[in-house]
């Protein structure tokens, strides 16, 4: 059952735009710390000092992760997940910022899943719909499919009108293809079949390149 929180207590304590900017800065810091692990690991067996540098890099990354991976850190994350806090501003900022760092895809998919059963204000839902539309212009990552499950259940009529308009675009751009996937999902039709058709068409139609827009680099 959705958790009910009085609307008066649903406003984020910090402006959403500030949380988004903070999340970008935190994600950049986590990427830098994680990259340092890889850099020092390449030489970690060369000497005791090199091994110590690698161990320090691991310690620094894991020590910072709990404070930086989500606005408000581990405490805000736990309160959002268990429903003990009425403030959804941190989670909204997290999806709006769309940060990329180690395991960020996992955390975003958890947030989308959690929002399916959270009572949202009209403004909250509209912001999530805008984030979902933004996903259509990005490479497909693991959280894309959790966003699809959310909009199937929670998105309003205006959102679906915009998606259907995009899907009907005769120019079959990557956003138009992904909008078609959303329409199929809403109709409980197999999206995987549409993806397979793209692959099949590229295989048998000379000069055709499949429009799938999947992310090729390792997931966050």
Q: What is the pLDDT of residues 38-65, one digit of tens each?
A: 999 999 999 999 999 999 999 999 999 9
- The pTM of the whole model exceeds 0.85: no
In a domain, 160, yes or no: no
% of the chain with per-residue pLDDT over 90: 66
From the CA atom positions of the chain, what is the Rg in Å? 20
- Report pLDDT for 116: 94
User: Which domain does 85 fall in, by range?
Assistant: 7-119
- Is 104 within the bounds of a domain? yes
DSSP, res 60? H
- Would 179 be classed as within a structural domain? no
* Coil, helix or strand at residue 87: coil
Cβ–Cβ under 8 Å, residues 207 and 193: no
Q: Write the burial class of residue 26 (CB in 10 Å: 0-12 exposed, 13-18 middle, 19+ buried).
A: buried
Query: Does any domain span residue 166?
Result: no
Average pLDDT of the residues in 174-195 = 90
d(CA 193, CA 47): 53
3-state secondary structure of 3: strand
Confidence grade of residue 173 (pLDDT, cut at 50, 70, 90): confident
Inside any domain, residue 201: no
Three-state DSSP string of 91-106: HHHHHHHCCCCCCHHH
Confidence at residue 148, expressed as pLDDT on a 0 to 100 scale:
96
Count structural domains, the chain.
1
């Amino acid at each position: 059952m959705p958790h009910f929180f009085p609307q008066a207590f649903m406003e984020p304590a910090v402006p959403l735009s500030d949380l988004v900017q903070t999340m970008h800065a935190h994600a950049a810091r986590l990427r830098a710390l994680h990259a340092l692990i890889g850099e020092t690991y390449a030489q970690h067996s060369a000497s005791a000092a090199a091994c110590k540098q690698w161990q320090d890099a691991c310690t620094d990354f894991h020590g910072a992760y709990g404070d930086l991976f989500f606005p408000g850190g581990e405490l805000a994350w736990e309160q959002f997940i268990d429903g003990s806090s009425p403030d959804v501003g941190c989670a909204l900022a997290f999806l709006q910022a769309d940060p990329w760092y180690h395991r960020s895809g996992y955390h975003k998919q958890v947030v989308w899943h959690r929002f399916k059963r959270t009572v949202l204000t009209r403004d909250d839902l509209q912001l999530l719909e805008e984030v979902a539309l933004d996903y259509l212009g990005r490479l497909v990552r693991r959280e894309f499919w959790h966003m699809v499950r959310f909009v199937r259940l929670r998105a309003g009529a205006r959102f679906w009108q915009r998606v259907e308009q995009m899907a009907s675009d005769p120019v079959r751009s990557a956003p138009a293809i992904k909008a078609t996937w959303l329409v199929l999902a809403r109709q409980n039709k197999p999206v995987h079949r549409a993806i397979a058709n793209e692959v099949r068409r590229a295989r048998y139609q000379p000069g055709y390149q499949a429009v799938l827009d999947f992310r090729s680099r390792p997931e966050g």
